[in-house]
Copies of this chain bind each other. A is one copy, B any other.
Amino acid sequence: MLSKKTKYALHALTYLGKHRETKTVLIQDIAEEHGISHKFLENILLELRKAGYLGSKKGKGGGYYLIKEPKDIPLSKVIRLLDGPIALLPCVSLNYYEPCAECKDEAHCGINKVMIQVRDETLKILENKTLQDILDGE
């Protein structure tokens, strides 16, 4: 399951995607719309900005806005940013690789081999679904 962080990030991105005509959107607006803690959401939006998905304007009249095209924001990227690895095991993670302590010989581990396949097929799904697909469904 996705963490609340990622779930809220998706809601925020969706909200921002739906309000691209207005110049900026307040954290508060998104927080109220979904009944999310303002402060918790703040940290999430900050991460999305640092990762290059959002722009922000400080000071009075400021707020957040989407700076990437919704079609260029795949689920895979959002999940990796907020939640971490998409792979089911550390030993098959492309971006967060770590050996599994209980595994003596990764090269001859059947679990490892199968999980590499699962990872590749899962990645195909998550790279193909973007914010645009979410917006199309609203």
Instruction: Mark the stretch among A42-50, A51-59, A61-69, A110-118 that contacts chain B.
Output: A110-118
Q: Are B88's CB and A110's CB within 8 A? A: no
Question: Which residues of chain A have a CB within 8 Å of any CB of chain B?
Answer: 1-2, 7-8, 10-11, 14, 34-36, 75, 84-85, 87-90, 100-104, 108-114, 117-118, 121-122, 125-126, 129, 133-138
* Interchain Cβ contacts under 8 Å between A and B, 21 examples: A1-B84, A1-B85, A1-B87, A1-B88, A2-B88, A2-B89, A7-B111, A11-B111, A14-B110, A35-B102, A75-B118, A109-B137, A110-B136, A110-B137, A110-B138, A111-B134, A114-B129, A118-B125, A118-B129, A121-B125, A122-B122
